[in-house]
Amino acid sequence: MSAESAVPSLPVSERAVVLLIGAVQFVNILDFVMVMPLGPDFAKGLGIASSHIGTIGGSYTAAASVAGLAGGYFLDRFDRRKALAVCMLGLVAATAAGGLATGLSTLLLARVCAGLFGGPATALSMSIIADLIPVERRGRALGAVMASFSVASVLGVPLALKVAEVGGWRLPFFVVAALGFVVAAAAVFLLPPVRGHLGANGSAARAVSVRALLGRADMQLSYLMTAVVMMSAFIVIPNISAYLQQNLGYPRDRLWIIYFAGGIVSFITLRLTGPLVDRHGSFRVGTVGVVLAAVTTFVAFVSYPAWLPIPLLFMGFMLAMGVRNVAYNTLTSRVPDNPVRARFMSLQSATQHMASAVGAFLSSKLLVDLPDGTLGGIDTIAWVSIGLSVGVPPMLWVVEQRVRSREQARALAVPPAQGLAVPLSPEANP
């Protein structure tokens, strides 16, 4: 008897799966994005130099990258639901530990632990969506899940800052940990078992080694595409706030309007782009996103016209990022075969975190503080970002052609009724 047939056939709503995974991602992302805005608060409370705030934020990314690499060796050996529950409980404990920190070393340790569990949780979340949602609706589902980033940015961060004002910098860590515990419990009890990638004895994931996985040309190209997308974004994104204030003179007390408006646009874009990818393919939609990103990056950082409202420009930038990201994420979710999906996603998560760190580090090397208080080199990082983006459409096209050929060959060779651990009810799509 196969692993799939051993699982009770309980109807599961696709909408419920998307909402649960979206909640997991919301907690995971909020745990990461709230730390930097809270930096001055906990630096003052723990007597930490402000120059170390970046190190604290980077410790999470570095740990998540290492965890992604390590997770590639074993994540596909387990029921994805159980593995996700373990990662979420580890993230909850690490987040709570951050609220109990007594100094730089203990806070760094807590953030490293959070990254070690948060990185694999992201890979598992995307794997569950890819396993349980059919290809024809997967773009919409991934767009909905990715919208959790916008929700965390628009609602989560302002609420975390307000909670810190009321109860001190430690309270947001405890609140997010409590929320994470509730979400983890919901995932355990409401998500279906996800064991379709396992063989009868649970050993299917061992059949393909990481070396063999990385030996496939389409996977190599997929990881390269992921690295280019993330580098092109994070060579610019960390410097937006400083650029707006120091170079364009945007008021600090109105900065929240920029991020709030950008988050709203990003949320809407992610919801609308998924169905477009399902209908027109990742190459076409992704190319539109790349062109929009190049145009908005040029206008914003190379040749900004004084008559153009800054919030409107930032909203355009976030729209472009959202379109491009949904397109490439949907495509990469189709690259791995079911038995190695979590392994692939874990390595992709590691690639994303590494590329983000490289992009941020490169921007710090290219930018300089000028005597007049502005940032020099902004146009340079903009051109680097645009140059990297130019390479994305060709990779989208090649990967999409390879994936379609493989899917067509599989459809001709295998009856189309296999793959899900639990059947999903068709009336409740995301």
pLDDT, tens only, 166-206 = 888 899 899 999 999 998 888 777 776 666 655 554 444 44
- Give the pLDDT confidence of 315-343 residue by residue, as tens digits: 898 889 889 888 888 888 788 776 666 66
Assigned domain for 39 exists: yes
- Residues 152 and 258 both lie in one domain: no
Give the tens place of pLDDT for each residue, 116-151. Answer: 888 788 778 777 777 777 766 766 776 677 667 667
Domain boundary among 194, 223, 249: 194
Residue 340 belongs to some domain of the structure: yes
pLDDT at 109 over 90: yes
Same domain? 218 vs 111: no
Judge whether residue 422 has pLDDT over 50.
Answer: no
End residue of a domain, out of 194, 223, 242: 194
Place of tokens 């390879």: 402
One domain, residues 188 and 219: no
User: Are residue 286 and residue 400 in the same domain, yes or no?
Assistant: yes
Q: 407 and 267, same structural domain?
A: yes
Whether the CB-CB separation of 54 and 108 falls below 8 Å is answered with: no
pLDDT higher than threshold 80 for residue 80: no
Instruction: Give domain status of residue 429, yes or no.
Output: no
Which of 82-96, 264-278, 414-428 has the highest mean predicted lDDT (pLDDT)? 82-96
Is residue 147 a part of any domain in this protein?
yes
Task: Say if 417 falls within a structural domain.
Answer: no
The answer as to whether 3 is a domain residue is: no
Number of domains observed in the structure of the chain:
2
Same domain, 161 and 271: no
| CATH code, domain carrying 25 | 1.20.1250.20
| Least confident piece of the model among 76-90, 201-215, 416-430 | 416-430
Answer yes or no: do 184 and 109 share one domain: yes
Write down the pLDDT at residue 228.
Answer: 92
- Predicted confidence at residue 367, as pLDDT, reads 78
In a domain, 342, yes or no: yes
- What is the reported pLDDT for 91? 92
* 52 band by pLDDT with thresholds 50, 70 and 90: low
CA–CA distance, 83 with 197 (Å, rounded to integer): 13
Task: Note down the domain range covering 147.
Answer: 13-194
Mean pLDDT of all residues in 267-285: 84
- For residue 375, the model assigns a pLDDT of 77
Residues 238 and 342 in one domain: yes
Answering whether pTM is above 0.85, one says no
Asked whether residue 200 is assigned to any structural domain, the reply reads no
Say whether both 236 and 338 belong to one domain.
yes
Residues 158 and 256 in one domain: no
Residues 108 and 247 in one domain: no
Answer yes or no: do 154 and 285 share one domain: no
Confidence (pLDDT) at 5: 36
